[in-house]
Structure 1
Amino acid sequence: MPEVEIRKIVTVLEEIRHEGGPPPAIPLRRAGIIAVIANPFAGRFEPEITGFMENLKPLGLDMAGRLVAMLGGDAGVVEGYGKGAVIGAAGELEHGALWHAPGGYAMRELLGDAKAIVPSAKKVGGVGARLDVPVTHINASYVRSHFDAMELGVSDAPRAGEMALMLVMTTGARIHARAGGLSAADARGGDGLR
């Protein structure tokens, strides 16, 4: 399989201090990272593409490590995560699916084998396309307070023959979360759901 060819890496860090109610004692931080890479399958149908996932694993680990560093270097503060991909117009949606394992397992590994499936979104889009990367709790997908999304995009990507691969980590629930459901404190995390 071809090597991963990176054109650029973009990072975003949000610190949310207010959402209309009282400021929280500790602001919510959301970190996102985007790697814009060449799509080795752009412009043609390639029946066997799964081997490229192995090539993407080091990139996934690097990106996940950068997110932890952006959030202060302690993986223990991370409570939510998600992943996504925008594929340039010369590619196909299935090329974005190649990011599922390398992106998801990288974050789970760095966060101490987090139990919940890493939520994902992908689409084919043009230059400047943005994606709402879904977020859930790292150990229990049913923790409603952590259902969130972080919009990511790059002004000059993905070009037709590129992919924009994305990871997101957060330090907690939505500010003023009060829609009920399973709380993070009550989650057991054994099955990744509850």
Structure 2
Amino acid sequence: MPEPVIRKTAITVEEIFHEGGPAPAVPLRRAAALAVIANPFAGRYVEDISGFMDDLKPLGLKMAGDLVEALGGDASVVEGYGKGAIVGANGELEHGALWHVPGGYSMRELLPASNAIVPSTKKLGGPGTRLDIPVTHCNASYVRSHFDAMEVGLADGPKADEILLALVMTTGPRIHARVGGLKASEVKGEDGLR
């Protein structure tokens, strides 16, 4: 397969100081890296598409590295992550699934404590479509305080023959998280769950 043809990239960083209650000592930071690429399978059915995952790996690593940099350059501050894809109208949902391995494993490769599965979502949509990327704790999926989401999208993508790929990282739990469950400080990091 050919290298991904990138039309545009974007990085968004949010800094959240409070959610109506007291301000935390350190604001929560959430960042999203987006890349709009040509869909090499648009407009036709191709039986074997899995080889394109290997072609997406370098892009995944670059996007993950860009997110770490956007959050200050220290991978150890990242506590949450997620990924997703929006496939343009001439593609199919399975084309978004090609992002599972290169998107997820690229983040796990760069983050020191990342045993948890990377949550994911995908959908079909056109320019301006928004996607809520689910987020969980990087090292233990059962850490309830880190169940979150970040909305992503671009006004001009994806076009019909494109795919918008997204990665998200966060530096901590939801602001004012207080609904119980496993705490980040209690994570054993053995199985990706607890």
Q: TM-score, normalised by structure 1?
A: 0.99
- Corresponding residue of 1:52: 52
Task: Answer yes or no: is the 8 Å Cα contact 2:158–2:164 preserved in 1.
Answer: yes
Q: Distance in 2 between matches of 1:86 and 1:22?
A: 36
Distance 1:101 1:113, change over 3 A: farther
- Corresponding residue of 2:83: 83
Divergent runs of 4+, >3 A: none
Distance apart, 1:113 and its partner CA: 5.6
Q: Secondary structure at the match of 2:102?
A: helix
Question: Structure 1 vs Structure 2: percent identity of aligned residues?
Answer: 71
Q: Distance in 1 between matches of 2:39 and 2:171?
A: 32
- Corresponding residue of 2:160: 160
Q: Distance in 2 between matches of 1:147 and 1:96?
A: 22
- Corresponding residue of 1:94: 94
Q: Distance in 2 between matches of 1:12 and 1:188?
A: 31
- Provide the aligned length of Structure 1 versus Structure 2: 194
Report Cα offsets for 1:116-157 as digits up to 9, x if no partner.
000000000111100000000000000000000000000000
Do structure 1's residue 133 and structure 2's residue 110 form an aligned pair? Answer: no
Do structure 1's residue 171 and structure 2's residue 163 form an aligned pair? Answer: no
Report Cα offsets for 1:76-95 as digits up to 9, x if no partner.
00000000000000000000
| Runs of 5+ unmatched residues, structure 1 | none
Q: Secondary structure at the match of 2:60?
A: helix
Letter in 2 for 1:108: R
- Corresponding residue of 1:190: 190
Letter in 1 for 2:37: I
Distance apart, 1:112 and its partner CA: 2.3
Q: Secondary structure at the match of 2:95?
A: helix
Q: Distance in 1 between matches of 2:115 and 2:3?
A: 30
- Corresponding residue of 1:40: 40
Distance apart, 1:18 and its partner CA: 1.1
Q: Distance in 2 between matches of 1:23 and 1:133?
A: 25
Q: Secondary structure at the match of 2:62?
A: helix
Task: Answer yes or no: is the 8 Å Cα contact 2:113–2:138 preserved in 1.
Answer: no
Q: Secondary structure at the match of 2:82?
A: strand
Report Cα offsets for 1:41-94 as digits up to 9, x if no partner.
000000000000000000000000000000000000000000000000000000
Letter in 2 for 1:53: M
Task: Answer yes or no: is the 8 Å Cα contact 2:113–2:189 preserved in 1.
Answer: no
Q: Distance in 2 between matches of 1:76 and 1:33?
A: 18
Q: Distance in 2 between matches of 1:144 and 1:22?
A: 20
